[in-house]
Amino acid sequence: MLLEEKRELVVRYGRMIQEEKLTTGTGGNLSVLEPSSGLMAISPSGIGYEKIVPKDVVIMSLDGVFPEEDHREPSSEWQLHSALYRHRPDVGAIVHCHSDYATAVSCLGIDLPPVNYMIAVAGDKVPLTPFAVYGTSDLAQSVVNSIGDSDAALMANHGQIALGKTIKAAFTVALNVEYVARLFILAKGAGDPVLLSRADILETRKRFKSYGQIRKDRGEGDHDASVG
């Protein structure tokens, strides 16, 4: 089966975004890129995550070409995934979900500000992208124009999108964006949140690089920045 490992990752993390209540029903989508071939494995359209099996995952090029004749319809947001992979060569996986608190902040028409240091997994803030109808090239362009070098964005009146070198990294970003969005909504309900400075976030990002158990074989921090 073509890109079998990538398919299995899409299945596994699709179930995880549902288990973590980052989305409901068939909402949201996720993909993993195979850089050497330029193909991506992307979740199928309209199938519940608990029902998806590896053969349901769609393999396609960023231009919308399908190397397999017998395939499911890809997520309606495949153009969004394609546009982001083209725009951000550092990205190897994408998670888009309709998590409650991130979506609530997106409905306020504002960026998600740095109310907690865990926002640093995405950047110094999570930018808001202007509204566009789902599944359109307009939405893809809106996100590309707004996300910059951040690893996440809020999609106005819609949800959030998270990027990473791996699907684990993108999933971790999505989890933490939802966590910070929840804190922001709670703090906003009690008063005016005190925001962290850009210098605070930059220092946090630097410390994340050495967080966790150091892998001697690669000299890299084996971490997912999910805890303090």
Single out the catalytic residue among 77, 178, 203, 220. Answer: 77
5 is catalytic: no
Q: Which amino acid is at 90?
A: D
Grouping H, G, I as helix, E, B as strand and the rest as coil, residue 92 is coil
Task: Report the distance separating Cα 101 and Cα 110, nearest Å.
Answer: 13
Mind giving me the DSSP string for 28-75?
-EEEEEETTTTEEEEPBTT--TTT--GGGSEEEETTS--S-SS-PPBP
Residue 46's alpha-carbon distances to 51, 56, 74, 126, 154, in angstroms, are 11, 11, 9, 28, 22
Catalytic residue numbers read 77
